[in-house]
């Protein structure tokens, strides 16, 4: 059977729309993963990832796998059985961090907040005073709620108790201000399919020297062979030691996506995401819809909006898809059936998409 895929306007929590230049890059001729041309491309990808993360970390690479693979790499390389880990949970992906850390034998302690809220320095300090943690894990951009966790001052606090700060940046990298070095983040990871507007399949991760020291002094081998950064890092480092066959075409796509980011400029891209989000927020409120997260902590890349009472969640999303070719998503976890998630990420973050969605919602909701 012939494969027929109808184009969509992707305004959900990911994947986002992909620039034509990125799609074109996917069709470039395959070469070997140790070909000199590919090794040069790897260097350029790393340099541009450092620009996106705002870091000089040497260990900055795209993990061969989706954002969830980068998440697992961040956990499995630094957690050993019996380690005390403090995880800030205010949404679905904080829950996932708890699950992963527990599977690797961590003594998981949760710091919980209502979904859609964020944590204060005082709350984290109180938890660390009760018991220090080897790693504090938190989500910068919680895709399930649309909340943006402030990070300024967090690393200084965590470091003062002898811990590492690990941050989930899956829905913020390339679209929301993120400054790994300035904010002292030790381990940060993301995905390609959100604000970088590259198809899903790679998981950028960056690790600073403090965290590398912890990795190199492990008492035991990293329990996940495929994601062991002590080995994968040698493939991406100067040794170029074979570890696995890198996804060549996906790295082409990431190269082009990062090149687009560099051409636009990281601060200009942050500003574009915010301006389009503000237009969306004003438009949704003009339709009488209520947003979940207060504006001070709202993600420009992902907006959650309460579904009006009496409105059929699936019916509205179905009409958007069928009549307008627009995809938005329903809620996760406690927001299932109660909220919609609207993404304005990367190539999808355009004023015309905002106007088209608002017009469609006005027509559907009456």
**How many angstroms separate the CA atoms of 363 and 356, rounded?**
11
The predicted structure's pLDDT at residue 174? 98
User: How many Cα neighbours within 13 Å face the side chain of 168?
Assistant: 31
**How many angstroms separate the CA atoms of 290 and 304, rounded?**
9
Query: From the CA atom positions of the chain, what is the Rg in Å?
Result: 20
The predicted structure's pLDDT at residue 130? 97
**How many angstroms separate the CA atoms of 206 and 200, rounded?**
18
Contacts of 282 (CB under 8 A, 6+ apart): none
What is the dihedral sign for C-alpha 130, 136, 141, 143? negative
Residue bearing tokens 């994601």: 227
CA angle 273, 264, 52 (to 5 degrees): 75
The predicted structure's pLDDT at residue 1? 87
Residue numbers in the chain where pLDDT is lower than 70: none
**All domains of the chain in start order, with CATH:** 9-15+266-365 (3.90.1150.10), 20-262 (3.40.640.10)
Contact 350, 276 (CB under 8 A): yes
**How many angstroms separate the CA atoms of 223 and 245, rounded?**
20
Structure tokens at 239: 């040794």
The predicted structure's pLDDT at residue 366? 86
Question: What's the whole-number average pLDDT of the chain?
Answer: 97
Residue bearing tokens 């380690």: 83
**How many angstroms separate the CA atoms of 244 and 33, rounded?**
9
Structure tokens at 62: 């795209």
Threshold 0.85, pTM exceeds = yes
In this predicted model, what pLDDT tens digit does every residue of 310-323 receive, in sequence order?
A: 999 999 999 999 99
Residue bearing tokens 């992906």: 93
Q: Report the SS3 class of residue 110.
A: strand
CA angle 210, 77, 129 (to 5 degrees): 60
The DSSP-derived string for 317-360 is HHHHHHHH-EE-EE--GGGTTTEEEEE--GGG--HHHHHHHHHH
Contacts of 34 (CB under 8 A, 6+ apart): 240, 242
For the chain, the first-to-last Cα distance in angstroms comes to 40
Contact 88, 113 (CB under 8 A): yes
């Amino acid at each position: 059977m012939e494969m027929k895929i109808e184009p969509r306007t992707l305004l959900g929590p990911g994947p986002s729309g992909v620039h034509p230049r990125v799609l074109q890059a996917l069709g470039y001729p395959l070469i070997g993963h140790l070909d000199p041309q590919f090794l040069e491309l790897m260097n350029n990808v790393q340099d541009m990832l450092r620009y996106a993360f705002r870091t000089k970390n040497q260990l900055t690479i795209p993990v061969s796998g989706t954002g969830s693979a980068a998440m697992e790499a961040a956990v499995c390389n630094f957690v050993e059985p019996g380690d005390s880990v403090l995880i800030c949970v205010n949404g679905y992906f904080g829950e996932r961090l708890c699950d992963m850390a527990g599977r690797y034998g961590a003594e998981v302690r949760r710091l919980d907040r209502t979904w859609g809220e964020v944590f204060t320095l005082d709350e984290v300090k109180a938890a660390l005073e009760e018991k220090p943690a080897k790693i504090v894990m938190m989500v910068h951009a919680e895709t399930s709620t649309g909340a943006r966790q402030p990070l300024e001052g967090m690393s200084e606090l965590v470091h003062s108790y002898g811990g590492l700060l690990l941050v989930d940046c899956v829905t913020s990298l390339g679209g929301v201000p993120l400054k790994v070095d300035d904010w002292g983040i030790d381990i940060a990871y993301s995905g390609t399919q959100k604000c970088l507007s590259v198809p899903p399949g790679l998981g950028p991760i960056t690790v600073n020297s403090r965290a590398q020291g912890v990795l190199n002094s492990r008492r035991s081998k990293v329990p996940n062979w495929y994601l062991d950064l002590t080995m994968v890092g040698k493939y991406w480092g100067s040794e170029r030691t074979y570890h696995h066959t890198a996804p060549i075409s996906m790295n082409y796509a990431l190269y082009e996506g990062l090149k687009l980011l560099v051409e636009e400029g990281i601060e200009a891209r942050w500003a574009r995401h915010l301006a389009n989000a503000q237009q969306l927020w004003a438009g949704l409120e003009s339709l009488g819809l209520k947003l979940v997260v207060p504006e001070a902590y709202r993600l420009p890349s992902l907006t959650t909006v309460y579904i009006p009472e009496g409105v059929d969640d699936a019916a509205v999303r179905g009409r958007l898809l069928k009549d307008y070719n627009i995809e938005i998503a329903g809620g996760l976890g406690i927001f299932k059936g109660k909220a919609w998630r609207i993404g304005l990420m990367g190539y999808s973050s355009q004023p015309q998409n905002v106007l088209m969605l608002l017009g469609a919602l006005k027509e559907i909701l009456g």
